[in-house]
Amino acid sequence: MKSQAIPTLPLRADRALKKLGADIKDARRRRRIPMAIMAQRAMISRGTLSRVEKGAPEVSMGIYATILFILGLEKKLADLADIRTDDIGLDLEEERLPKRIHTAKRSNKKDSP
């Protein structure tokens, strides 16, 4: 039975998935791989492959990753959330840096006998 829940994917995320799906479809077609063969290689049904190529959010990330691997495009997947390109995170971290750095105070007390 299909879920009656309304998907609540943010608009920009939905557009990004649709672009990813279209790019996957174009990459498959440029490589002249028929849908049936691609689905077989990914061990999924043609229907699932069709949903991937439409950017369906209900398809697992593992299936997207498998298809990208088959197409030889998985290298960029590991860098999607790379901290070096996380501008917001880097800005927040920079805001937390201390304004001044104090050296440790030395104790001038001499040991008493």
Q: Is 53 exposed, middle or buried (0-12, 13-18, 19+ CB in 10 A)?
A: buried
Q: What is the pTM of this model?
A: 0.73
Q: Residue 79: inside a domain, yes or no?
A: yes
Q: Residue 101: inside a domain, yes or no?
A: no
DSSP state of 3: -
Q: Residue 100: inside a domain, yes or no?
A: no
Q: Residues in the chain, how many?
A: 113
Range(s) of the domain holding residue 46: 11-94
User: What total number of domains does the chain contain?
Assistant: 1
Q: Residue 111: inside a domain, yes or no?
A: no
Q: Residue 65: inside a domain, yes or no?
A: yes
Dump pLDDT digits (tens) for 71-92.
Answer: 999 988 888 888 888 888 888 8
Residue 73, domain CATH: 1.10.260.40
* 13/81: higher pLDDT: 13
Nearest one of 19, 94, 35 to 70, comparing CA atoms: 35
Q: Residue 81: inside a domain, yes or no?
A: yes
- Count Cα atoms within 13 angstroms, Cβ side, for 108: 1
